[in-house]
Each structure stands twice: as C-alpha cells, then as structure tokens.
C-alpha cells in the first residue's frame, strides 16, 4: 500500500473568497457579542431570578436563547477553521473564551483587529 500525501489547506486567492471570509468574520463577531450578552444575562439575571425569586421560566427562556447562540458560535468557529482561515489553536482559544463569562468582550478586540487587517488587505487588492 502506498502512503497517501496529506491534502494541503487551500487558500483561494480570488477576491470573492476573501469577501466571504470577511463576511464570515463579521458574522462571527456579531454572534460572539450576542452569545456573550446572553451568557451574562443567564448568569446575572436569569439564575438569580430562578433561585431568589422562584422564577425558573427566566432560565428556560434565556437558557434556550443562549444555547442557540452558543451553537451558532461553535458553527462559526468550525467554519473559520475548516475553511482554513483560523488555525486549530486560534479556534480552540475561541471555544475556551466562550466558556468564561465576559471573555468574549475581551476577545472582540482581537476579532476587530483581524477584521481591520482583512479589510485593509481587501482594499489593497482592489486598488
């Protein structure tokens, strides 16, 4: 049996794919911020309402919203990784950040910088 060569990661050079990555990063940033807000609401508002005011419906509503946003966040991270834009390490850090309250807001700075550099590269190529 002949050993298979590993398939290299593709990084398409055309502007359409760069625009798609830029759009994916923008979507990821929005999802990350919404997920962070929902996590803070879940821990800071819904959980106290459940245990101190005996309103478990708050956790059901906010928890469901947070769960859906977390799934969207994980899918966005996976897309950025499998499309070859992010390394495994950056993707792993993104997933760890989603587990720490308020960390997504700190992580947002890194995403903004990445968006700015991706946008600048895109503008340079268009000129």
Please report the pLDDT score of residue 77 as a whole number: 96
Q: Is 94 helix (H, G, I), strand (E, B) or coil?
A: helix
Q: Which residues contact 80 (CB under 8 A, 6 or more apart)?
A: 21, 24, 25, 28, 86, 91, 94
For 102, the token pair is 């308020």
User: How high does pLDDT run on average in the chain?
Assistant: 85
- Within a domain: 10: no
**Spatial distance between the Cα atoms of 21 and 55, rounded to a whole number of angstroms:** 42
What are the Cα distances from residue 1, in Å, to 8, 106, 107? Answer: 21, 50, 46
- Within a domain: 33: yes
- Within a domain: 18: no
Please report the pLDDT score of residue 53 as a whole number: 93
- Within a domain: 112: yes
H helical segments located in the chain:
15-41, 47-52, 56-82, 88-97, 103-126
pLDDT digits (tens, 9 = 90+) for 42-91: 999 999 999 999 999 999 999 999 999 999 999 999 999 998 889 999 99
Range of the domain at 118: 23-126
Total domains, the chain: 1
Q: Does residue 34 surpass a pLDDT of 80?
A: yes
Please report the pLDDT score of residue 42 as a whole number: 96
With cut-offs at 50, 70 and 90, classify the pLDDT of residue 122.
low
Average pLDDT of the residues in 9-35:
78
- Within a domain: 17: no
pLDDT digits (tens, 9 = 90+) for 92-104: 999 999 999 999 9
Tell me if 28 sits within 8 A of 104, measured CB to CB: no
**Spatial distance between the Cα atoms of 113 and 116, rounded to a whole number of angstroms:** 5
- Within a domain: 5: no
- Prediction pTM value: 0.79
**Spatial distance between the Cα atoms of 55 and 13, rounded to a whole number of angstroms:** 53
Please report the pLDDT score of residue 36 as a whole number: 95
- Within a domain: 78: yes
More confident residue, 5 or 116: 116
Please report the pLDDT score of residue 6 as a whole number: 57
- Within a domain: 13: no
């Amino acid at each position: 049996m002949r050993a298979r060569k590993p398939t290299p990661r593709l990084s398409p050079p055309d502007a359409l794919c760069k625009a798609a990555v830029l759009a994916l990063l923008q979507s990821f940033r929005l999802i990350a911020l919404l997920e962070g807000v929902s996590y803070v609401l879940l821990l800071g508002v819904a959980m106290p309402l459940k245990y101190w005011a005996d309103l478990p419906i708050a956790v059901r509503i906010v928890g469901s919203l947070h769960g859906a946003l977390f799934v969207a966040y994980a899918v966005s991270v996976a897309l950025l990784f499998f499309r070859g834009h992010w390394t495994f390490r950056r993707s792993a850090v993104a997933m760890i950040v989603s587990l720490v309250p308020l960390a997504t807001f700190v992580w947002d700075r890194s995403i903004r910088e990445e968006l700015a550099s991706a946008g600048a590269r895109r503008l340079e190529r268009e000129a």
